[in-house]
């Protein structure tokens, strides 16, 4: 909610936090983020916006979390969602191709593999 409500940088407008990995000694925290596209310029802009807001995010978190030492924050691009979307699209393409092949092979004049077509004699 900090990114959505209290950071006004337009570069982080469409950022989604995907994970937080915090060291046992609380000295560092890797915060994963994703954006709606895998366009390198968009990802770099989001990374720059998050890096720019790092100190503010850390300060806002320190006011909300009751711990002795606030970890150093590093934002890390997480392409898992983009990769999952691409995989889903590929699977959908394969399904469509399979359905198209099956509809062609199950038509009324379809031949089975190895079958010799009948010829009409007059």
2-78 belongs to which CATH class?
alpha beta
Question: What is the pLDDT, as a whole number, of residue 5?
Answer: 74
Question: What is the pLDDT, as a whole number, of residue 119?
Answer: 60
Strands across the sheet containing 28-34: 16-22, 28-34, 72-77
pLDDT class of 13 with cuts at 50, 70, 90: confident
Express each pLDDT in 24-76 by its tens digit: 999 999 999 999 888 999 999 999 999 999 999 999 988 888 888 899 999 99
Partners of 118 in beta bridges: none
Supply the pTM of this predicted model. 0.69
Question: What is the pLDDT, as a whole number, of residue 78?
Answer: 95
Question: What is the pLDDT, as a whole number, of residue 116?
Answer: 59
């Amino acid at each position: 909610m900090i990114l959505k409500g209290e950071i006004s940088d337009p570069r982080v407008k469409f950022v989604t936090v995907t994970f937080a990995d915090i060291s046992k000694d609380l000295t560092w925290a890797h915060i994963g983020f994703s954006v709606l596209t895998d366009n390198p310029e968009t990802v770099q802009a989001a990374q720059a916006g998050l890096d720019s807001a790092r100190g503010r995010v850390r300060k806002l978190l320190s006011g909300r979390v009751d711990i002795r030492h606030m970890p150093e924050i590093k934002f890390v691009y997480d392409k898992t969602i983009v990769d999952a979307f691409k995989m889903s699209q590929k699977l959908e393409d394969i399904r469509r191709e399979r359905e198209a092949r099956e509809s062609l092979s199950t038509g009324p004049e379809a031949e089975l593999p190895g079958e010799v077509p009948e010829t009409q004699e007059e």
